[in-house]
Every structure is written in C-alpha cells, then in structure tokens.
Structure 1
C-alpha cells in the first residue's frame, strides 16, 4: 500500500542513510538531494548529492491486480516504479581524496542496506505509507558505460564529478480509481456440489483441519464462537483445557484464549470465543493454532478471518452534495495505521481518509454516486463486514447494511 508521496519518501530515506554513512567517515559532510547543476548553491563544503535521474516501470508488476481485491473483484493495478539515482561526492576545495572518502562512506551505507526496511521508511517519511507495501524496496547497483556518463553529464550542463549509480525497485503507487466489487452470490445451482476430501488422522499427530466461524460465515467478528476442527487436539485431558493462540502480522505478541474463552473442547473439536477487545484484536487475516496441555508449542496453524463491524446507527442516509460528500462511520475493531480501509457501496469502492492513529472512526469521500440505495460493506485489510444473513434459508442481505443517497 503506497500513496503518491512514495517517490519522495524513498528518496528521503536513501538520503538519510547516505547522510549517516558520510558522517561516519567525514564529520562535517552532509547528504543533500539537488539537481547536479544546483549543488553549488548550498553552503556546505563537503557534500554528497543524491539525484533521481530516471523513473521506469517494472513490467513484471504492471498488470498485477490490487492486493486487497477479493475473489471476483477487479481494480486498477498499482503503478510499479523503478527509481534510478546518481550519487556524487563533492568537495569545494577540489580535494578528490576527500570526495573519494565521502563517496566510500555513502556506498558503504547503501551496501549495508540492500533492502529498505519498514522501520527505515516509516522513520524517515512518516507522511507516506510506502513502508506498508508488501513488496520490499531493494537497492541494486547499476553499471554506467562511458556513453551513458557522457549523455547524463551533458544534460546536467555541469562539470563531471565521480559518481555511482543504483536503482530502487520496486516502489508501488496505488491507483486512486475505485475498484469493481460485486456483491457476493447468495445461492448456487443444485448440481454444484463441489469436491469431496477425506483425511486420515490415524497417525496420532495433532492437527487442525479448519477454523469455522458460526453459521458458515466467511469471517468471524469479535465475540463470535469459532470452532476448530481437527484431531488429537487434547481437549479430552480434563480438567486442563487447551489454549487457542491467535497471531496477526501487525502484532508482535500473540493473543491467547484460555479459561472461560474456551466454550467446548474435545479431541476433535475446540470451540472458542474471539476476544471482544476492539483495541487489541484488529480486523484482518489471522493464524490460529492450538497449544494442548501436553505440548510445549502450537501444533498447527490455519487461517482465520476476523472482519470489522459498522457500529454507527444503521441504515445510513446521506445527501450527495456536489462534487462529493463525506461519510464518517464508527467501527469495531479499531483501525490501525497502515491498514487498508475501504467502504464498498454496491459495486463501487471508496478508500478511507488516511488513518494515522489507532481509531474506531473512519471517514470516506464519496463522489460521482447517483441517488439511490446501496448495499454497504466495510472492508479492512481485505476482510468485509457481514452483509449476508447466513442464518436465514435461503440467505438474504441484511437490510440494516444499507446506504441511501438522496
């Protein structure tokens, strides 16, 4: 997930890394980012200049669908950029040895950071969410031939200085165009039975086959009773009970469910309650495992989706004030910085305003939406709020999750 300031953020992160490297070898040196013909305008005697001289598209990712698109959904791919930089060391007194020393410090710093870490990007450029993109930004050295060097410095219209070239790949800028998010299918044909599978659990090893939210829902919500189906889970070792362990990529520590949180436990199935803790249990994709009383480590992991819930009064009615309207909703769990948040209205998707702190309130700018009624879903990190009432036969859309545009 990256916004339009991703290029600026990557350049600033690289400049910071180079600045640390040159100061290690020359205390008075500084790293700057200027066009080569404007370097002389600064007041620094010892400086290393970082210049972005070319941007390219990475063809391998040019047509990749958005990472947060679900099955059957489509959207404009992210813009995958390759950024090529020139690093030039300059000493005003003409001391080439000093320039070589600074260039060595700069290249050493970049060599020690072949991949820009999330921490480096977030610290140097907190205004951008480029640190949250799935693909890492990698540093690769480029070899410039004599004709390339001549062409570059002829364009700069400044005397040639010893330089090195490298590229940063890949920097993704998300499309601002809304995606197409069709409503889920409520019923399939009678003959669409699907495959049948059989597992042999006679080995005696503990395993989890699936995590099943209630009523066949695709995702659980806070407070739901989820059943883990498997074998040899240790649920028959009363009075001790197993521990259900939940892990989320944004949390450094797991969330353990024990004691009263275990609703029922047998050797083949364990039912537990998803902790109703909006600040501690974010929405998204989790890994759930079981720690039986007789084991020292989790014996299995299966995915479990935990979805958001809209806690604002429902249904919602808004006036479509041209050219756009702002909709503010409250939700549970709370949304964290770096999470992808979308409001789906019918087959349209609208991104939330940037989230900078953990909050239960999110705002959306709605534009180009005709008057009418729209089924409403909140999507956080690819997981939707419940829209379909699966306890009904046949399933129906929940009438509360409706937005009326007047």
Structure 2
C-alpha cells in the first residue's frame, strides 16, 4: 500500500535522482523543490528546481480498485486512488556560459536513461529526511515512471504568466505515474464458499391484478376485513414457498383457501391508517443447513410480483354518542361527541371529525380529535338542529359511511350512518 507520504516521496526521489546525476558533471549545482518564483530571486547561480504543479487522476488506473465494498457495505479491500503527477523542471544559470541549457540536457538525459523510480532509489532518498521515514512507496508493485510532456507554447506561457508571475526560465514538463494512495482501513475477511450450487428455475413470477376486501368489490378496507388478492401464479409450486409482504413485512395468508389466482389474508392490527403496498414472493430452499435432517435449507427470494397498493380506512367501532347537549328552540346546539376510532389515533397523526347534514348535504367545519385511547370526547359547538352523518378523517383518509341493506326499506342502498341527531 502507499500512504499519505507518497506524493512527497515521489517529489523528493525525483530531486534526489537529478542531484545525483548532475553534481558529478557540474559541481556546485543545487537541485531544489520550491516554487519557480522563489527559486531564482535574482540569483543566477546554476540550479535546477523541481515543482509539482498538478496532481491529476490517472485515466488508465482510475477505478481499478472497484468494487471496494459488498452490497451490504462491508469493506473487501482498501480503496486506492491512482494519480499522475505533473512536474515543471526549471533550469537556472549564467546566460554567458549557457548554464541553463547544460542543466536541461542533463535533466533530459537522466530521466530518459532512468525513467523509473526503483525501490533502492526511493529508500536512498527517504533515508535523508526524517519526515519521510514512514513512507512505504518502495513497496509498491507498480513503479513510478516519468515521461516527457509536450506542452505547447501557449500552455507554457500560461504556467509562467498566470501561475508563477515571474520571468520565464528554460523548463521541461514531465508526468510521473502511476502514483497510488491507499486507505488505511482494514478490510473484513470473508470466509470461502463451502458449497457451490446451481439452481435452474423456470420463469414463473407471480402477478397481482387486484386487491379488494372479502366483503365485496368497492367496499372499504378496514381492520377485521379479509383482503382478497387476485392474480396469476400466486401460489408457488413445491418446493417453493409463497410469502405475502405488506409494506415489506411478511404477513400470513390462509393456506387452506389459497389458489394460484386467489389469496386471502387478514390485515394485521399493527397496520396503520393510510396507503400500503402488498407484494407476493416465491421463496426457494437453497444452500445448506446446520441442522440435522429432516430440516430444510434456508429459504431465499426467487421471484417477486409487482407492487400493488391498498388504503386502510379508519372506522367507528360503535355508533357515535352525544352528551351535554345545550341549546333550545332554533338556536344552534353545543354538545360533546363520543367516538371510538379504529385503529386508535396516535400522536403523529392528524385527525378530525366532520358532520354532514342529511337534510341538504351541508358540511360543517371539521373539528380536531386529540390522540389517545378510545373513546375520544370531542366538543362540538354551533350545530343547527337536525340529523348528521359522522365522518372521521385520520391522516387524510376518511372513514366509510354505511348503506341501508334492508331490501324493503324506502332508503335501501342509500347512506344510513353513522349518524347523530341534534334535537
């Protein structure tokens, strides 16, 4: 692996390489790693300056470490970024003796002859600096290789005029890479596969075409009513097992009445008022079990149906009652309305009760219902005398009204309740 000292180690090793090659030929030459504007300061003493002006992602090695994690988010190997370092190597010296040109020739010759940073060279460069002692670049399997960059006159002008704000000096640009920087996170060791199994299955995914209450199409879905799920290939053939998910939670269905096109299940009491999803899964036994026979291998999802939806409505468990009715004659009445709502209203749900006049269909302003256990007592004020339907709204979902089911009744098929009378 390569740690956070990698870039600094590459720069120092490059400086060390050039210094070792230039000093025997032209003695007294200094090889530095400062910024170009700080390297000269009007001094024409022969020198070479190595400056890292850009660290770019290496296009050939970028993403080579992927994937670093499993689908569960577990780290399987260390993330590793691949970089390419761009250097500007500037040469300084007396113009009369063309020192800068001599130095540039030595730089080009050295990097053409020794383009790679060997482990021995890295170790020698690191040994001269205490702050690089923890560098582990020498153990990297890919050697850092330097190649010349062909910068145009415009690109070179921008480097000196925009970045450095100093006079131009004879320079050459080189790119060094690949340079890897790895995370120091510890991957989780994954156990080897015990068994390899191939399961050949015919494509027989379940399909849901409808959801309705067992009481009949178009009737409300409330607690205590069976859900009827219709579709195709709902019942999985052995050894597969069918499973119904309501909001992703496994929910039991009636295995005695289940068919390939019809499943029945009860709405769990934990299901709250509002919209919900339902899905049918086919599970298959796959893998191995640690239990002795006749235990079966664990079940795994094989096929899933489309997501279907239904809305659970609130309902009044008992007819609403009035108490403490106040008011006489034609004046509006005030009273306390007692309601038993199923499911009970929770703190995070908004709930209101609305009165609808049987005489002309006038709807009175809704009144808030406080959360808590049944029955709930709601103060009602300013209600004209007459009969009213009572409708409860919880989390934006209305409670159903009942119809007159007596065939001989003059109001057969019309709304019958729940209702209260303000006399």
Length-normalised TM-score, structure 1: 0.43
Which is higher, the Rg of structure 1 or of structure 2?
A: 2
Q: Which has the higher contact order (CA 8 A, sep 6+)?
A: 1
Length-normalised TM-score, structure 2: 0.41
